Amino acid sequence: MTDLKQIINTKLELASSPHVHTKLSTERAMQMVILALLPCVLSAVIYFGIYQLLIFLVSIGISMGTEYGIKRIRKQANTLSDGSAFLTGLLLALILPPNFSLVFTGLGAFVSIAIGKEIFGGIGYNIFNPALVGRAFLQAAFPVQMTTWTKTSFNVDAVTSATPLGGFKFDGIAADLGSMFLGNTGGSLGETSALAILIGGIFLIALGIVNWRIPVSMIIGILVFGSLIWMINPEAYMNPLYHLVGGGFLFGAFFMASDWVSSPITAKGMWIFGLGISLIIVIIRVFGGIPEGVMYAILFMNAWVPLINRYTQPTIFGAKK
Amino acid sequence: MSFFSINKSFKGGVHPDEHKDLTENSAFEIMPYPTEVILPLSQHIGKPSKVLVKKRDLVKSGQVIAEPDGFISSIIHSPITGKIKDIGKTASVGGRPQEAVTIVAEGEDEIVFMEPLDAESITSEMIIERVKEAGIVGQGGAAFPTYVKLMPPKDKNIECIIINGAECEPYLTRDYRYMVERTKDLIVGIKLIMRALGVKRGIIGIEDNKPEAIRMLKEATIPHPEIKVEVLKTKYPQGAEKMLIKVAVNKEVPPGKLPLDVGVVIQNIRTAISVYDAVVKGEPQFTAALTVSGFGITTPKNLIVRVGTTIQQVLDYCGGTNDDARKVIVGGPMMGVAQYDMSAPVQKATSGLLVLTEPEMKHSQETNCLRCGACVDVCALNLIPKDLAKFSKAGKWDEAEALGVTVCMECGTCSYNCPANIPLVQWIRLGKQRVINIQRSKQNVS
């Protein structure tokens, strides 16, 4: 038996309740998201070759370096250990085209962290998804390189190296849904394999890190809005299933839109956010000049988040509705 | 098990590690008679009781030593036989010195009980009078004088009573032990409360992590169709009054209102047992029942102790604390009070004494708010904890008030669930107190 008096003086903590805490922490959440992205990294390497690992390396390295540098210049505490800079770098790499220039990759990573995150004050304060900010910059600065698609390693017929969405929009070619599900099509590194995305995404929902409402509302939205357009003229417009598995939709739904910082906090707000993203995606894909619109749709809805939060505050328990 | 539970529940809430297995199979032990007790005159919510004894007076166990001061107050009985050693400030739970009576044991334990009454023929008035005489205070945590709750204002129409057997705080197994050890007495106690209030309907709400209690009470209530056992999904804070009422009778208590405004009175399991003891045995509330648990205590137990026994004595009786003990908590881990002075006494409503170690608490580094919405998701009262905390921290009392800071019941669910480990409820508590003070001072001016 220990002498309790001794413990009182030296080790006993005094704090107000609650005295227990969930296992989840910021650091652990970031680690879990990184873990959930491994299937996508794997699919990128399988379909596009080992070279792609360099893109990951550069993107993650520059992201972390940028954050470290900015924190140093601003004389703030180093936040690398929370894992969020690593994650931003990883996410950016996954939405870049295969065999993308390493210099441009680094530039994109710098913009992601510097403009997308640190300029607002660092983790928790950014309005837009940092990785998407980086990609939007690259899209504007290097439009040709950003839309140069490599065919996958297993694409035996090798007719086209266009993405399924681009192929449909510009050439009217419908890709094989099965290949799209597995990821054997042209597209960004981590976006082609619906299977890999679903493995990671469902894992995160099960852990409670991704709130199910955002991916679910986006999926319902894309199927409903996609079907409405499709029913007008099934010949001219895409089957809603293409909307679902094509382009960056699923990756955006599970890993981008669901980003904690840049998505709404209320349940109702999450539904509005998710449905809004899908509506804009369908509009861009069907009526826009570019085949894909996930990035712009998410960034656009990010800007509405503060307003959505304000107007979707839940009614306090027991108060009159 | 409860993850897939189809039992009734409320929106929000969390499911912390229960750790009830540490003590759920330990029958109550009666702790040996203490050599000295400390009795704070505030054993309850309301005005402190008025002392009736002087220094060096001799008292017997069960003898009244303090009387109520005003309507919301309570009688206090001596828990031991001995001599009044001192009347003055002593250590207390929470740390603030409190006016208390200290009694030193002297001679054999002589117990003076009240006259037992017949539970079958007793009238409502007699029950209320006896509950008052026995100094019973609510055992759910707030320690509200029970007799006051049995006398609702005439304009409130009470339809039913709910007996709170949720015991949603992790670790605690006191109410569970009463449900399985004194099932029959509990039913009689509930019927006495129902008669006192003149209600025809009683509901016992029990979380589904206590299947044995559910089985025994369902069996015991077969001859009493007016009492129903309601099985609740295991989720914190199911035992909160508003959540319990919502699930049991599907009514929402509006902000700032009380259960009796929706026709409900809630009593705790042990309160019903105390009512039984007071009426049938004539025993005043001079003992406390508590779960002593946590990985920092050598032998976890469920104990019945004389009120006023010090925390140190209880810990010693349970084999003392382990080397890795980090926190001593009076109450449960979600709403209990951390304690540093072990000479503070156990009070009438003390339900638990926990000694926690670092791994059980799982505290992590605090980071910026990530706006993940985890606090909003679990707040059972539909508040936005992150904003309430933010405004409280910034001293923006008007904004905090507008968002409902005073509605918060301080259950701690938001802080528990925050991945950034921000002390949300702690800030909210501060804001709530300030806003209430401001509201009061405005009322006084006008």
- B181 within 8 A of B29, measured Cβ to Cβ: no
Chain B residue closest in CA terms to A317:
B381
Tokens read off for B201: 């309907």
Report the pLDDT value the prediction gives residue A128, as an integer from 0 to 100: 96
Report the pLDDT value the prediction gives residue A42, as an integer from 0 to 100: 96
Q: Which domain holds residue B254?
A: 2-24+115-281
Chain B residue closest in CA terms to A208:
B374
- Higher per-residue confidence, A281 vs A12: A281
Report the pLDDT value the prediction gives residue B227, as an integer from 0 to 100: 96
Residue B41 C-alpha, separation from nearest chain A C-alpha, in angstroms? 24
Query: How many domains, in total, are found in chain B?
Result: 2
Residue A66 domain flag: yes
**In this complex, is the C-beta atom of A1 within 8 Å of any C-beta atom belonging to chain B?**
yes
Residue A58 C-alpha, separation from nearest chain B C-alpha, in angstroms? 26
Report the pLDDT value the prediction gives residue A2, as an integer from 0 to 100: 44
Pairing between strand B98-105 and B64-67? unpaired
Q: How far apart are CA B316 and CA B322, in angstroms?
A: 11
Q: Which residues of A180-219 are buried (b: 16+ CB within 10 A; e: fewer)?
A: bbbbbbbbbbbbbbbebbbbbbebbbebbbbbebbbebbb
- Which residues in chain B touch residue A302, judged by CB atoms under 8 angstroms apart? none
Residue A319 domain flag: no
Residue A6 pLDDT exceeds 60: no
Residue B298 domain flag: no
Q: Are residues B168 and B276 in the same domain?
A: yes
**In this complex, is the C-beta atom of A122 within 8 Å of any C-beta atom belonging to chain B?**
yes
Tens of pLDDT, residue by residue over A146-159, are 988 887 777 655 44
Residue A321 domain flag: no
Report the pLDDT value the prediction gives residue B90, as an integer from 0 to 100: 85
Count Cα neighbours of B118 within 13 Å in the Cβ-side half-sphere: 3
CB contact under 8 A, B373 and A26: no
Task: Please identify among residues 422-441 of chain B the ones whose CB lies closer than 8 Å to any CB of chain A.
Answer: 423, 425-426, 429
Q: B interface mutation test: which of A265, A305, A309, A312 has the most B CBs within 10 A? A: A265
Q: How far apart are CA B195 and CA B178, in angstroms?
A: 21
Q: What is the mean pLDDT of residues A1-25?
A: 71
Residue B437 domain flag: yes
List, for chain B, all residue ranges whose pLDDT scores fall below the cut of 70: 1-5, 446
- B352 within 8 A of B292, measured Cβ to Cβ: yes
Residue B336 C-alpha, separation from nearest chain A C-alpha, in angstroms? 6
The residues that bridge with A56 in the sheet, in sequence order, are: none
Q: Pick the last residue of a domain from B246, B281, B316.
A: B281
Report the pLDDT value the prediction gives residue A10, as an integer from 0 to 100: 54
- Higher per-residue confidence, A259 vs A158: A259
Residue A176 domain flag: yes
CB contact under 8 A, B338 and A19: yes
Residue A33 domain flag: yes
Query: How many domains, in total, are found in chain A?
Result: 1
Lowest mean pLDDT among A232-246, A257-271, B315-329: A232-246
Report the pLDDT value the prediction gives residue B446, as an integer from 0 to 100: 67
Tokens read off for B292: 């002593």
Angle among Cα B12, B427, A207 to the nearest 5 degrees reads 35
Give B33-83 as a DSSP string: PPSEEEEES-SSSSSPPEE---TT-EE-BT-EEEE--SSS---EE-SSSEE
Residue A11 domain flag: no
C-beta neighbour count of A31 within 10 angstroms: 15
Residue A134 pLDDT exceeds 80: yes
**In this complex, is the C-beta atom of B337 within 8 Å of any C-beta atom belonging to chain A?**
yes
Q: What is the CATH number of the domain that holds B15?
A: 3.40.50.11540
Q: Are residues B266 and B380 in the same domain?
A: no
Residue B73 domain flag: no
Q: Are residues B10 and B159 in the same domain?
A: yes
Tens of pLDDT, residue by residue over B298-343, are 999 999 999 999 999 999 999 999 988 999 999 999 999 999 889 9
Angle among Cα B227, B229, B230 to the nearest 5 degrees reads 130
Tens of pLDDT, residue by residue over A266-298, are 999 999 999 999 999 999 999 988 888 999 999
**In this complex, is the C-beta atom of A306 within 8 Å of any C-beta atom belonging to chain B?**
no
Residue B52 domain flag: no
Q: Which residues of A107-117 are buried (b: 16+ CB within 10 A; e: fewer)?
A: bbbbbbbbbbb
Residue A172 pLDDT exceeds 90: no
Report the pLDDT value the prediction gives residue A68, as an integer from 0 to 100: 96
Residue B405 domain flag: yes
Angle among Cα A100, A178, A197 to the nearest 5 degrees reads 55
Residue B267 domain flag: yes
Q: Looking at this predicted complex, what is its ipTM?
A: 0.88
Report the pLDDT value the prediction gives residue A235, as an integer from 0 to 100: 83
Q: Are residues B269 and B385 in the same domain?
A: no
Q: Are residues B275 and B412 in the same domain?
A: no
pLDDT band at A161 (very low <50, low <70, confident <90, very high): low
Residue A9 pLDDT exceeds 60: no
Q: What is the DSSP letter of B250?
A: -
**In this complex, is the C-beta atom of B412 within 8 Å of any C-beta atom belonging to chain A?**
yes
Q: Which domain holds residue A119?
A: 27-152+163-307
Query: What is residue A262's three-state secondary structure?
Result: coil
Give the residue ranges of DSSP H helices in B134-257. Answer: 146-149, 174-181, 183-197, 211-220, 241-249
Task: Please identify among residues 48-107 of chain A the ones whose CB lies closer than 8 Å to any CB of chain B.
Answer: 79, 82
pTM of the prediction? Answer: 0.91
pLDDT band at A1 (very low <50, low <70, confident <90, very high): very low
Residue A8 pLDDT exceeds 90: no
Query: What is residue A167's three-state secondary structure?
Result: helix
- Which residues in chain A touch residue B368, judged by CB atoms under 8 angstroms apart? 122-125
Report the pLDDT value the prediction gives residue B372, as an integer from 0 to 100: 94
Report the pLDDT value the prediction gives residue A159, as an integer from 0 to 100: 47
Residue A222 pLDDT exceeds 60: yes
Q: What is the mean pLDDT of residues A169-195?
A: 85
Residue A303 domain flag: yes
Q: Tell me the one-letter amino acid at A79.
A: T
Separation in Å, CA A67 to CA A71, A112, A133, A282, B372: 6, 10, 15, 35, 21
Q: What is the mean pLDDT of residues A311-316?
A: 94
CB contact under 8 A, A17 and B363: no
